[in-house]
Amino acid sequence: MKRVFLIILTLSLLVTSLLGLTACKGEDDGVPEGMQLVRGGDEVGYYFYAPEEWTVSCVGDIACAYVSKLDSTSVTLVRAEKPEGELADYFDAEMKKLPFEVTVLKSGEKTAFGNVTDAYKYTYSYEYDGATVGVMQIFLSFEDSFYIFTYSSFLEEKRDGVSYYDFYLEKVSKVIESARLVSRTGEVSKPEYETDADGYNLVSDKSIAGFSLYLPKEYEVAISSGLVSASRTDGANISLTKATFTRITRLEYWEQRKADLEPIIDKVTVDGEEKSSLVELVVDKKTEVKNSRWAYLFEYTYALEGVTYHVYQVIITTSNASYVFTYTATEDVYGEHLDEIKTILEKLGF
């Protein structure tokens, strides 16, 4: 379950920048009044509901609903690997791995989650980009599966002295009460893709994403909507999404990208001085991408938990919009797929 906390914690802060994430509703006739099904079925092992006016989205295996593009308050549910040992020890160890200081408010309170009574609640807060975020997480076991529920919202005032976090607590209580865990059977079926002459799969819907992205069959798609993200078994990942930085320049975007990575990546010591492990290899180099007005390459490396990652990122502008293509792999496998990455860019359509 390595770094699953960080993924879930930051999801609510990132979700408003992901344009039109994949809706993940299943089939269920027993939707509670005023609620909507986020995801449900025997194949996932649960039925998870959220307020009917919220936006439903999926990020890989994470079922998610958030208030709106202007309010990133969110609830998520994900099945995870069951931790070994005591839950309290696991929680404390994971909190220490986070790239920001966490203030634990309540720790390991016995609670219920829908029809499950073997559940424990933790609440805490942390500072992010000048704001304070409040988090409630419930860890629950059902049969042979383990799940993590997360509610995340800002502790800043929404109105009349009430914070965003407290304002939505009543609705979140209904989310918790309405959830149902069921016996998990079978696996989620894999989608069938249109292929081109080279056997590359068309993994995006141009009417939603604005682009046609073809990938080799070895890539498993985690997200395919406004954002597309896919990975190989060796961890190499490709993502492509419409840019959200329309009011800043490419170099300003690059500086913001570095600032976002800074609290997460490792530090290194050089001549007795601690500094960022990020190394800039190529910055703002003009390159060619078919059907684009222009494209610029940014290439860099960084270390995370002792592993060096290599990134090949291209900012692409067409006549209608801008996009960010990112290829990330560990240093030892980065070069193996680089020619393939260039082929993927050649096939990219807008």
List the chain pLDDT tens, one digit each, 350 residues.
434 444 444 444 444 333 334 456 555 557 899 999 998 888 889 999 999 999 887 666 788 888 987 888 999 999 888 888 899 998 988 888 776 788 999 999 999 999 999 899 999 998 876 789 999 999 999 998 999 999 999 999 999 999 999 999 999 999 999 999 999 886 656 678 999 999 999 999 888 888 999 999 999 887 777 778 888 999 899 999 888 666 778 898 899 888 878 877 889 888 888 899 999 999 999 999 988 899 999 999 999 888 999 999 999 999 888 999 999 999 999 999 999 999 999 999 98
**Max CA pair span of the chain:** 65
Tokens describing residue 226: 């406004």
Residue 170 corresponds to which amino acid? E
Q: Which helix (H) or strand (E) holds 230?
A: strand 227-231
Tokens describing residue 129: 């980009």
Measure the CA–CA gap between 55 and 72, rounded to whole angstroms.
10
Q: State the pLDDT at residue 187.
A: 63
205: number of CA atoms within 13 Å, CB side? 11
Q: Could you tell me which of 331, 31, 347, 47 has the C-alpha nearest to residue 199? A: 347
Q: State the pLDDT at residue 54.
A: 92
181: number of CA atoms within 13 Å, CB side? 23
Measure the CA–CA gap between 347 and 338, rounded to whole angstroms.
14
Q: State the pLDDT at residue 2.
A: 38
| Residues 203, 193 contacting (CB under 8 angstroms) | yes
Q: State the pLDDT at residue 18.
A: 39
DSSP class of residue 52 equals T
| Residues 227, 21 contacting (CB under 8 angstroms) | yes
Residue 57 corresponds to which amino acid? S
Q: State the pLDDT at residue 217.
A: 94
Cα separations (Å) of 269 from 82, 184, 266, 274, 276?
A: 36, 48, 10, 4, 9
Question: How open is the CA angle 126-264-169, to the nearest 5 degrees?
Answer: 30
Q: Which helix (H) or strand (E) holds 94?
A: helix 87-97
Per DSSP bridges, beta strands 157-159 and 145-154 are unpaired
Q: State the pLDDT at residue 157.
A: 92
Residue 214 corresponds to which amino acid? Y
Measure the CA–CA gap between 225 and 180, rounded to whole angstroms.
27
Specify the 3-state DSSP secondary structure of 254: helix
Measure the CA–CA gap between 305 and 70, rounded to whole angstroms.
33
Q: State the pLDDT at residue 319.
A: 86
Which phi-psi region, left, alpha or beta, contains residue 45 (left: φ > 0; alpha: ψ -120 to 50)?
Answer: left
Q: Could you tell me which of 53, 62, 49 has the C-alpha nearest to residue 22? A: 62
